[in-house]
Amino acid sequence: MTIIDATSAGLGATGDLSHVREETTERLQAQAEPLRGPGYVVVDLTHRLRPGDEQYALDVRERGERKTATGDIQSDVSFWSHVGTHAEAARHFYADGKDTSDFSLDHFIGPAVRVDLRHKQTNEAITLEDFKAAAEKAGGIREGDLVFMWQGRDNLYRTPHSHDRPYVSEEAAQWLIEDRKIKALGTDSSGFEVRGPRGKEYPLHNLFFRKDQEVTMIECMRNLGGIPRDRFFFIGMPLPIKDLDASPIRAVALVPTDDTLAKLLGL
């Protein structure tokens, strides 16, 4: 069986179908299935990028011409830095902020916790009380954690409703950063900046990307519900490109299935 992977309308704005690719059910299933090894499971948390179909542009073109089934080619790749599952650095908001190449490796890798906030509605505030209640159910938010908000909105990605989401209150953000000292805050929606008139001042961007604080925002994650436990080890590395404000990442959850590995990973 073959599935044609196209936009919901079936055509780009110009009617060009050159970007459409056929994908077998086996390939799609392989993407959805976790990788299982001795003592661990790896769950993919990344949206697969489709040139020509993304809200934030992505274009892939062959450099050279391959006239037979084999032959050496390379690709020209052009994309917005916020395409797909991505991490945002301070350079996104502050002119002198760190870019994606300035951070040490441990900024995008480490112990993580998933907090269940699926009950929050579009344009509703996620309050400090919401975070504390969800964190308690997940075993707590520890200092230095990467925190991921499971909102159940990854199915809205690449749809007209992709920006339908709740937002994080300023009080909750301050607690996460100043009390819990988190490394990053992630979501399976398009973002978590404050909504309404106050949102035009970007209070969370000011707070998260402040100099000597610089907490990463990770947006448009996928399959947070596929992680079999709330605490896991997160890996999601951006491209280390000088002056880049944000970067697509390949985000994965490494989930131990035995206590020995869990202890080694600080879980």
pLDDT tens column, 59-74: 999 888 888 888 888 8
What pairing do the DSSP bridges indicate for beta strands 231-237 and 184-187?
A: unpaired
pLDDT tens column, 76-114: 899 999 999 999 999 999 999 999 999 888 899 999 999
Residues 253 and 112 sit within 8 Å (Cβ to Cβ)? yes
Query: So where are the chain's domains?
Result: 1-33, 86-264
Amino acid, single-letter form, for residue 36: R
Residues 112 and 262 sit within 8 Å (Cβ to Cβ)? no
pLDDT tens column, 32-65: 678 888 888 999 999 999 998 898 999 999 888 8
CATH classification for the domain delimited by 86-264, as one of 3.50.50.60, 2.60.40.10, 3.50.30.50, 1.10.1270.20: 3.50.30.50
Closest residue by Cα to residue 98 from 183, 215, 182: 215
